[in-house]
Amino acid sequence: MSTLITPHTDARMAHIIEKVRGGERLSLEDGVYLYESDDLLTIGQLANEVNLRKNGKKVYFIENMSLYFTNVCESRCAFCNFRKDDGEEGAYTLSGPEMVQYVEQHIHPGVREFHIVGGHNDKVPFQYYVDSLKALNERFPEVTLKAYTAAEIDFFTRISGLSIREVLEQLRAAGLKSLTGGGAEILSDQYRKKMRVDKANVEEYLEVHRTAHKMGMRTHTTMLYGSIESREDRIRHMLQIRELQDETNGFMVFIPLSMQPKNRNAGIMRRNSAYEDLKTIAVSRLMLDNFDHIKAYFINIGVQLTQVAMSFGASDVHGTILKERISHAAGALTPEGMTREELIWLVKGAGRIPVERDTFYNEIKVYE
């Protein structure tokens, strides 16, 4: 066993180390303790050990594009600066052919995935969302459609009168292959009420993913941290995701999303600290023992901190993205995307092995 960087750990930390190394699952109390501990190096090294056991030194990325068909949204979540009302300046709703035209102007060889999310636009019927995917799938059949959050799927059931399964069946027939992870925020109904998350509640979010998994679809999941939630709320969020993963084994990756301030000029105190971001990635890796991957999302935490995160349990750095809008509308100061060469440099610069993947973590190329 490797030697811990910080040798003077207390009895509680020593017990957690023993549990992790022995393959024993961590509890709610363990997770809260880790969050409250200031021993970041021990937590990080322990998370790194877990990740190395699962993935070795491989760190994954994908060539993808982020697409947003509409920013019109009926919801008014307190943390969102992307949404618009119908008719408001800057509001838009693109048709399938219009999005195809946009993609044709911006796509480059090697793109394997369209990452598609947007507003809950109740001014258009459910068929609009089906046709949007169909247009892309017909023009770019070689590109995987990873589309819509669980909250969007729940929204589609309300505007269509269909069940979750029926909505997913229609979208899958149009080309859908996987769901994005957004819409989770913090899985606490109390949090969702305070933050005006007037979209899918906790059980609805989980039920969408449960249904998708039972249909053979593998999906992604997130946690948006850094606002009003407690550290216990974060751990309870992870435990609910872990429990569903025990049931279905349908999640491929967990993505901690660092909250961005709503104003680009907001002071640094309104952002999560690097310390908090690294601890969240490490604690996620330790709590989610049944997940293969924890993602360090450079859009939210920055390029250099993403490199450090690879030694704190992260095994994925997302992808090329091309023109990310949601986090940047909220005030992200990071690049809107990166090239394949930049991502390879990013991973190699951290002493890791870059692996280009597809949506389902099948390896395309290993850059030794």
Tell whether pTM > 0.75.
yes
pLDDT of residue 271: 73
Residue 337 has pLDDT above 70, yes or no: no
Q: Which residues are annotated as a binding site for [4Fe-4S] cluster?
A: 73, 77, 80
The CATH classification number of 11-366 equals 3.20.20.70
Q: What is the pLDDT of residues 139-193, one digit of tens each?
A: 999 999 999 999 999 999 999 999 999 999 999 999 999 999 998 999 999 998 8
Mean pLDDT of 31-37: 97
Q: Which residues are annotated as a binding site?
A: 73, 77, 79-80, 185, 196
Q: What is the pLDDT of residues 118-148, one digit of tens each?
A: 878 888 999 999 999 999 999 999 999 999 9
Report the C-alpha gap between 281 and 288 in whole angstroms. 11
Give the Å distances, CA to CA, from 70 to 67, 256, 317. Answer: 9, 24, 26
Q: Give the domain ranges of the chain.
A: 11-366
Buried b / exposed e over 60-83, threshold 16 CB at 10 Å, is bbbbbbbbbbbbbbbbebebbbbb
Q: Which residues are annotated as a binding site for S-adenosyl-L-methionine?
A: 79, 185, 196
